[in-house]
C-alpha cells in the first residue's frame, strides 16, 4: 500500500488561509531557530536593545488579534519547553502546538482555534481506548465500559493530564499573550452551567436504558449537548480537555499514526485504573443465577466455607458460591446475607473481568510487518435482566 504523504496534509494545518496579510507576515520566511529562553542580556548592548524594542512594538501590534499570531510561537520559551517536556515528535511544529492551546471561546476563527484538531483527537482517543477495553475485557457490561472510557479519556482525566503536563492558563486571551498559555474565555462567576439540563429534565425520564445510551448518547453515556455558546465562555476543565484532544489530533496529522498511538500508550494507557472498582451491582445473586442458567451451568449454591464467632458481636462468615463442584467466587461478611452477596458479586466480577491471552487490538494491524489477524474474543458477555 502506498503510504500517504502526511507532510503534505500537515502543511495545510500549519499555514491556514490568511485572515490578514499582517498575521502571516514573516511566518514563512522566519528562521526555524528556536529561542529556548527569554534571556535578558547580561551586558546590555545596542543590538539587544533594538531587538527588545522591536519585540515590545510587536506585542502592542498583536493586541488587535484575539489569539497570538502564528510567528509568536517561535519566540515562546514556554511552548518550546512544553514541546520537549512531552517528548513530542520533532515533526510537530511549535506553531501547531500553539494552535492546540487556543480554545474556540478565545478565537472564534476556525483557522486559528483548536476545534478541528480536537474533533480529530477526540475520535482517535475514544477509538484507541474503546478498542483496548473491548479487546482486553471482552465481557465488560456496557455501563462499565462507559465508566472506563470516562476514566481514561473523560474530560476530568484530560484536564488532570493537562495540569500534570504543566500547562498554565491565560487569565485573559489575546494576541499579546505568550502562546505557551492555554487561551480561553472564562465563564463569568454566577453563571449556571447546567441550565440546559434543567430544561430537558422531563425528557430524561424515559431514556434510562443502556441501549438508548448506545444509540443516542456519546462515548461516556452522557446525552449529547448541542454546540455550546462559546461567547459566554467555557469552564477551565473543558478548555483543558479540548486542548489535550487537539494535541492528539495534531500529532496524528503531523507525525502520523504510529506516533499518535505511541503518544496514546505513553500518556493515556499508562495511567492506572482498577476496572474491578467500577462495578455497582444491585442484585448480584439474581444476576448470577441468570448467568448460570444462560450458560448451562449448574444452579449456583451458596455454602459456608468457614465462620467464626457466630454468636458473638462480630461474626465473620466466609461464603463460597458453588456451581456443582466448582467454586465461582467467595466473599466474607458480618452476616450470612452479606457474605453471600459479596460472594455472588465476586463470581460475577470473575465472569466480567475475563481477559484473553495475547490480547491484540485491531489498530495493531496498521503496524508494518504485523502478523495475520486473529479474531478477538467475543461472547454473550453481559447478563441482561
Partner 1 sequence: MATSLIVPKRPFLTLPFLLPSWSDSLSLGTRRYQSSYRRTKQRLRVKPDASFGSSQQVGDHIIHNPPSSAPSVYHTPNKFLPSNDARKAMRTQASAGYNATELPNVHKVEAERKYHLNPSDIEEIRKLRLADPMMWSRHKLAKRFECSPLFIAMVCEASAEKKQIQKQVLEAVQSRWGPKRRMAREDRQLRRAAWGRDE
Partner 2 sequence: MPVQGLRTVAAARNGVGAFILQCKRLDFNYCTHGGSSRGMLAFLTQTLPDFARENPQIEIRVAPRHNKHPVIKGQYINGKEKAICVRNMEPGEILKKAMILKDASGDKLKRTKKPVTSLNESVRGIWSPYHGDMRGV
Residues 370 and 385: their CA atoms lie apart, in Å, by 41
Cell of 195: 441550565
Q: Nearer to partner 2 by C-beta: 229 or 272? A: 272
Per-residue contact flags (x/-) with partner 2 for residues 120 to 159, judged by CB under 8 A = ---------------------x-xxxxxx-xxx-x-xx--
Q: Which stretch binds partner 1 (CB under 8 A): 72-80, 173-181, 221-229, 317-325?
A: 317-325
Residue 179 site contact among partner 2, partner 1, none (CB < 5 to 8 Å, cut-off depends on kind): none
User: Could you give the CA distance from residue 240 to residue 260 in angstroms, rounded to a whole number?
Assistant: 19
Nearest one of 230, 269, 279, 273 to 383, comparing CA atoms: 279
The residue among 83 and 186 lying less far from partner 2, judged by its C-beta, is 83
Q: Confirm or reject binding of residue 328 to partner 1 (CB under 8 A).
A: yes
Residue 270 cell numbers, joined: 499508562
In 3-state terms, what secondary structure has residue 331? strand
CA 273 – CA 151 distance, rounded (Å): 8
Give me the least distance between CB of 62 and partner 1, in Å please: 53
160 binds partner 2 (CB under 8 A): yes
Residue 303 found at the interface with partner 1 (CB under 8 A) = yes
Q: Which of residues 22-51 bind partner 2 (CB under 8 A)?
A: 36-40, 42
Minimum distance from residue 46 beta carbon to partner 2 (Å): 17
Is there a contact between 179 and 98 (Cβ–Cβ < 8 Å)?
A: yes
Q: Which is nearer to partner 2, 16 or 315 (by Cβ)?
A: 315
SS3 string of 63-117? HHCCCCCHHHHHHCHHHHHHHHHCCCCCCCCHHHHHHHCECCCCCCCCCCCCHHH
| Residue 379 site contact among partner 1, partner 2, none (CB < 5 to 8 Å, cut-off depends on kind) | partner 1
CA distances from 199 to 194, 217, 224, 271, 380 (A): 9, 17, 14, 37, 38
Sign for the CA dihedral angle at 214, 217, 219, 220 comes to negative
Q: Closer to partner 2 by CB, 14 or 210: give it.
A: 210
Residue pointed to by grid coordinates 480537555? 241
Nearest approach, Cβ of residue 233 and partner 1 (Å): 36
Residue 251 interacts with which of partner 1, partner 2, none, CB < 5 to 8 Å by class? none
- The residue ranges that bind partner 2 (CB under 8 A) are 36-40, 42, 77-78, 80-81, 83-87, 141, 143-148, 150-152, 154, 156-157, 160-161, 163-166, 180, 208, 221, 265-274, 277-283, 287, 305-306, 308, 316, 318, 332, 348, 382-385
Amino acid at each position: 500500500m502506498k503510504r500517504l504523504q502526511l507532510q503534505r496534509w500537515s502543511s495545510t494545518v500549519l499555514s491556514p488561509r490568511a485572515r490578514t496579510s499582517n498575521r502571516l507576515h514573516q511566518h514563512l520566511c522566519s528562521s526555524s531557530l528556536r529561542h529556548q529562553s527569554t534571556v535578558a542580556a547580561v551586558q546590555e548592548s545596542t543590538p539587544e536593545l533594538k531587538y527588545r524594542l522591536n519585540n515590545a512594538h510587536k506585542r502592542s501590534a498583536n493586541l488587535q488579534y484575539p489569539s497570538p499570531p502564528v510567528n509568536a510561537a517561535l519566540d515562546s520559551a514556554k511552548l518550546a519547553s512544553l514541546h520537549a517536556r512531552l517528548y513530542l515528535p520533532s515533526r510537530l511544529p511549535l506553531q501547531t502546538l500553539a494552535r492546540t492551546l487556543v480554545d474556540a471561546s478565545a478565537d472564534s476563527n476556525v483557522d486559528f482555534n483548536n476545534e478541528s484538531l480536537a474533533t480529530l483527537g477526540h475520535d482517535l482517543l475514544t477509538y484507541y481506548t474503546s478498542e483496548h477495553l473491548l479487546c482486553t475485557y471482552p465481557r465488560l457490561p456496557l455501563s462499565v465500559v462507559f465508566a472506563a472510557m470516562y476514566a481514561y479519556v473523560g474530560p476530568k482525566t484530560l484536564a488532570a493530564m493537562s495540569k500534570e503536563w504543566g500547562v498554565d492558563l491565560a487569565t485573559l486571551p489575546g494576541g499579546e499573550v505568550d502562546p505557551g498559555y492555554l487561551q480561553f474565555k472564562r465563564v463569568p462567576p454566577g453563571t449556571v452551567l447546567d441550565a440546559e439540563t434543567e430544561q430537558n429534565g422531563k425528557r430524561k425520564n424515559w431514556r434510562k436504558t443502556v441501549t438508548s445510551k448506545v444509540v443516542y448518547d456519546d462515548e461516556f453515556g452522557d446525552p449529547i449537548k448541542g454546540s455550546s455558546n462559546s461567547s459566554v465562555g467555557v469552564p477551565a476543565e473543558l478548555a483543558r480537555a479540548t486542548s489535550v484532544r487537539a494535541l492528539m489530533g495534531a500529532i496524528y496529522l503531523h507525525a502520523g499514526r504510529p506516533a499518535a498511538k505511541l503518544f496514546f500508550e505513553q500518556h493515556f494507557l499508562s495511567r492506572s485504573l482498577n476496572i474491578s472498582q467500577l462495578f455497582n451491582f444491585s442484585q448480584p445473586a439474581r444476576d448470577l443465577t441468570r448467568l448460570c442458567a444462560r450458560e448451562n451451568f449448574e444452579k449456583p449454591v451458596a455454602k459456608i466455607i468457614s465462620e467464626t464467632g457466630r454468636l458473638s458481636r462480630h461474626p465473620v462468615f466466609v461464603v463460597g458460591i458453588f456451581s456443582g463442584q466448582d467454586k465461582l467466587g467467595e466473599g466474607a461478611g458480618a452476616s450470612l446475607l452479606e457474605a453471600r452477596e459479596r460472594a455472588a458479586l465476586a463470581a460475577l466480577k470473575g465472569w466480567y473481568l475475563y481477559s484473553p491471552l495475547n490480547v491484540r487490538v485491531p489498530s495493531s494491524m496498521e503496524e508494518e510487518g504485523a502478523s495475520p489477524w486473529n479474531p478477538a474474543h467475543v461472547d454473550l458477555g453481559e447478563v441482561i435482566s
